Structure 1
Amino acid sequence: MKRYRQLVTVGIVAILLFASCATGGSRRVEHRPIQLMGGPNAMVISVDAEREAQLLEAVLGDMGSLADRISRVSIAMTPHSDAYPISLEDAQLWAVIEGDFPRFLVNSALIYVPGFKRQEASDGRTYFTQKDGNLSVRAVGNNSLIVTTGDYEEAYRSYRSRDPLIDEEIATLMESSSIALWAEEPKTFFELGLELPQEIFLQADSVLFLLDHDEADQYWVDAYITMKGAKEANTLSQMVRSGYVARLRREKQTVNIAALREMFLLDDLQVIIRQMELQDQELAQLKESLVGIL
């Protein structure tokens, strides 16, 4: 998804050139942007830009210092394929990039960005699309950019919606994590070391993965997987626990039964995994995917 990466860079460069500081103003949207994303078979990814500064710098390359203007990137992606693990090459994206973005100055600056052309929405508002691509962008309010590879007006309607797709509790959990992944009625998902077959995700009502790390950059994941039935939840609970034990034994690590009871929990239809360490290979694959999206 290099096209998306290019758009982030273009938008931030325009801001840097034409805006010396943020202006005042408040968002007219009642709900936080992340709450307005999602829906069946859509995945929502949210990245805390401050806590994942290295990830943003990898996206921006030589202009990594521009990441200082970004506070959060939230992306809704709908895969066109059910390939598992998720295929990022064939998905529709729309995103909200939050940060220090004065609306008037950014939209004025985008007029002069090579490779983009000015468009007029049905409500008369201006947005910008690639001349030789399918990316569209516009600054909204004084702290957000809307970006999409699909229909701009559809993305804007979602952004302005009064009907949240993610409730307050889940949104708060996502925004309190370094990286958050959410999917409702998924058909595919990322592979994060749980070695789960695709069938598990097809039986899930929702999936929430929350990634955090310590000062030594050791990452762990908390997962909340809500299944459609009690039988499916019980099967998944046994599967993830057995899979983790098998992994420990392959790595010749001690299996602590008491610790496993605290790590893997079953609460009615919800399987909960707490602070499971991510292996370097799994983390590298996930970050590579995120860089590709951004």
Structure 2
Amino acid sequence: MGQSVIDLGFVTAPSGVLVLGMGGWIDVWQETGRPLSERAAEAVRAGGGHLRDDEAEAVAVAAAADRSLPVRATAQRSPFDGEPTIAVLEVGLGLPWTGAAEVVVGDLPVDRCGMVLGDARALDSFTGLGDAVGNGLADLSYWGLHAEAAHGVFGGRPIGPAHDGGPHGWQDLPLSDARELAGRLEAWVEQHAQGRGLMVSVEPHTDLHLARRAGRAHPLLAGQVEVAGCAVLGIDWDPGDHAMRHGGEREYGQVYPVTLTGDASGRSVLRWTIPPYVDEDKGEHPQG
């Protein structure tokens, strides 16, 4: 299975602490205890390390505070649907590397809601699942068996990941308008199809949603947003690959090592390595 190197963009970490964490849980750290930035700073003072609070997980490391930090990934095709997926994620940390060997700082599962990479202090204000809306706007999408008929009545344009039958919808609606229109769509399908065959989703403009939206056109679903004045990267995951390779996450042992190492120029690099899928019945890697 061939591999390629793909640029994902860059992040900034003016606090000097960079965090890679589970996107669906980044916003809950303060609800369960001290802010993520405090815990991450403590981990960095100890040399960097893994953070966990219930199902929330992250890794924190030191990074240069005065420059952009490039992010790239070695990608390979998923053996399940042929879409590109991350094999190795690398972040240039902009600091000298003085170690003699690669250092393991922890391990992480692949969150089905995607991963978030950014400044620890900025991530204290990152809005995610169920959070209050930052700008009062939302995106509305609908799809399913009766999407074509619904489109003839309500309109909308292609929105979100492309697949047969939709989704269609609208972006950047006032949240109240999006909810009102969603109610009309749901009432329509209830009247014309006994409430079946049409899925309707209202996505408020949280940082998590906007990052995922920004990454839709990227081959590895990586999208950049600004949070508290910092460039933050969201990395969504191909749902087919996640379901087959990473489902169950830590509970099922689906965790992958995060390490610190040096590059050819003597600078430190954060590396998250996700090994190829192995067919347990055959004991071999499927070929794509």
**TM superposition score normalised by structure 1:** 0.25
Structure with more helix by fraction: 1
**TM superposition score normalised by structure 2:** 0.25
Structure with more strand by fraction: 2
